[in-house]
Structures are given as C-alpha cells and as structure tokens.
C-alpha cells in the first residue's frame, strides 16, 4: 500500500510525517527515537497498512520536521510532547495505539498520561520506562545530568559521532547480513547538519527529566491498564531486556518478546515485529470502538 507524506503545522513547528492505510482504520502513532526519524518505520509501515492507519511524525530536531533554532525553541522532552500532542489534535486523532521506541517512549508516555482515554494500546520496542532497563553505558550522560557543565557536555559529543551511530547504535547485536546502510547513513547525514549536534546535546541533558517521570509512567500503567506489547532487541547496548520484563510488574498481562536483534530491531526484524503487532492489536483493539 502506498505511503503518503505530508507536513502539519503545529504552532511554529512544521511537522513532517509519513502515513499509510485507510483513514477509517484503527490508528497506530509511531514515535521514533534517537538519532533517527520516521524513516526507521519504512519497512514496518507497508506490512501493517492493510489493517491499520499508520502515522509516523518526525520529532522537532529530527528528520524533515522544521522547528525554530535553539534559543527560540526549547529542545526538551516536555516541548517535544507538546508538539506531538498538537500534531495529534491537528490530525484529529482521537484514539490510537502508541508505538514507542527510545526517545519516542518518554514523548509518547507523556501523551498517554495527559490523555489516557486516547490510547488504545502500547507497543514498546526498546522504549524504556524502568531503571532496570539501563545498561552500564550511560556514564557520560549521567555525569552531564549531575553536573551540566561544558566539560561534561563535550564528553557526550562522541555519542553523536558517525562511528558511534553506525557501529554501536545500529551495529551492536545486529546481523550484518541483514543490516542495510540506509538507516544509519541517513541518520549520520542528519546529524551533520548545522546546529544538529547542539540540539541533540540539549536533549541529552534534558533526558534526566524522563527518568524522573518513571514513577509517574508506572503509576499510569497501574491506573489505566493499557494493553501492552514489549518487543525488544535483546542485544540493545543501551536498554537491557530487563526493561522489557519490568513492564509486567505494573501490567501483569503485558506480552514480552525478546528478539535476536539490537537497538534498531526494525532494521533486521521488521517482519517479526509486524507479525507480533498484528496478533497483539487484533486482540487488544475492538474495531467497533475505534474513532479516527
């Protein structure tokens, strides 16, 4: 099924998005992570568009979304959530399943807490909401959170380097025979744009706000009981499988599947993820109750 592309104006931000599927179908809102954009869903979207309406926006500071420069726009996770909330309202999305990955997790879970009635289900693909999910690779970021000075900011800059994106973020735990260069080379090109690194360093500093919200996210799970599928690349160097299993502490009925994949599981396992999502959503969502 053909993928459509558009731009939705949300205040002073022009949100680029890709979309496929019937406009009358149940909606899946796909929220990407760092350092990528909606192109990470390029293989998944066609596999589900016969049954669902899939909408994948680029967050401010990423991909093709156009946002004001630093100094006139606050690159924080609260602000990213504000923009995506405005995007969903401008698109008249009253009910949707959330696909949350990496940075998309704290953005999407902020939306879920603000409007729990809108969320029909959650698919977390290496989207962390528990401290158990952190690996021991977060040292420079955590030091920057504790002491936000210039030295610690510079110590985080290697996280944005081409080799880190290519070999650590994408390559760790991924079958090299299945890993296309398309995703990581486009991410590297986006990171090379003027001002991109400084925006990303601002977001790295603000990431501590997500960890502070973990208890609130977990309270949301317990109170509202959204159907949840955690499908996780087990070789993720940043977010460990324990972060997937932890969802079952607050959502005992959550389904957990660990894939033989890395952080960017869709790059190598899009078909497996689509199969799991289709079975999960067909049981979690009653089409007769869905408004789009």
- The one catalytic residue among 32, 39, 263, 269: 263
Nearest to 166 by CA among 144, 139, 189: 189
| Residue 127 near residue 100 (C-beta atoms within 8 A) | yes
Give the burial string for 219-230 (b: 16+ CB within 10 Å, else e). ebbeeeebbbbb
CA angle at 74 for the pair 71 and 76, rounded to the nearest 5°: 145
- State how far the alpha carbon of 204 is from the alpha carbons of 15, 154, 160, 165, 211, in Å: 21, 11, 10, 15, 12
Quick check: is 263 catalytic? yes
Residue 177's SS3 state is: coil
- Say how many C-beta atoms besides its own lie within 10 A of residue 13's C-beta: 24
**What tokens were used for 220?**
């949301």
| 49 Rama class: left (phi>0) / alpha (psi -120 to 50) / beta | alpha
Catalytic residues: 263
């Amino acid at each position: 099924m053909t993928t459509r592309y558009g731009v939705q104006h949300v205040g002073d931000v022009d949100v680029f998005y890709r979309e496929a599927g019937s406009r009358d179908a149940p909606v899946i809102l796909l929220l990407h992570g760092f350092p990528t954009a909606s192109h990470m869903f390029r293989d998944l979207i066609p596999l589900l568009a016969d049954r669902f309406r899939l909408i994948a926006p680029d967050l401010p500071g990423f991909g093709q979304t156009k946002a004001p420069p630093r100094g006139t726009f606050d690159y924080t996770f609260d602000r990213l959530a504000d923009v995506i909330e405005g995007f969903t309202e401008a698109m008249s999305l009253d009910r949707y399943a959330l696909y949350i990955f990496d940075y998309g997790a704290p953005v999407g879970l902020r939306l879920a807490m603000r409007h729990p009635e809108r969320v029909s289900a959650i698919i977390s693909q290496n989207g962390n909401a528990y401290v158990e999910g952190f690996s021991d690779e977060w040292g420079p970021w955590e030091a920057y959170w504790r002491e936000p000075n210039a030295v610690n900011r510079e110590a985080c800059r290697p996280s944005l380097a081409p080799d880190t994106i290519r070999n650590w973020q994408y390559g760790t735990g991924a079958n090299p025979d299945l890993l296309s260069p398309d995703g990581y080379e486009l991410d590297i090109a986006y990171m090379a744009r003027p001002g991109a690194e400084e925006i990303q360093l601002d977001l790295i500093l603000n990431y501590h706000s997500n960890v502070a919200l973990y208890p609130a996210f977990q309270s949301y799970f317990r109170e509202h009981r959204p159907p949840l599928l955690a499908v996780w690349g087990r070789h993720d160097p940043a977010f460990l499988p324990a972060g997937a299993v932890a969802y079952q502490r607050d959502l005992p009925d959550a389904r957990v599947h660990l894939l033989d994949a890395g952080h960017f599981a869709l790059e190598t396992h899009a078909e497996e993820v689509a199969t799991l999502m289709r079975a999960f959503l067909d049981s979690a969502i009653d089409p007769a109750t869905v408004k789009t």
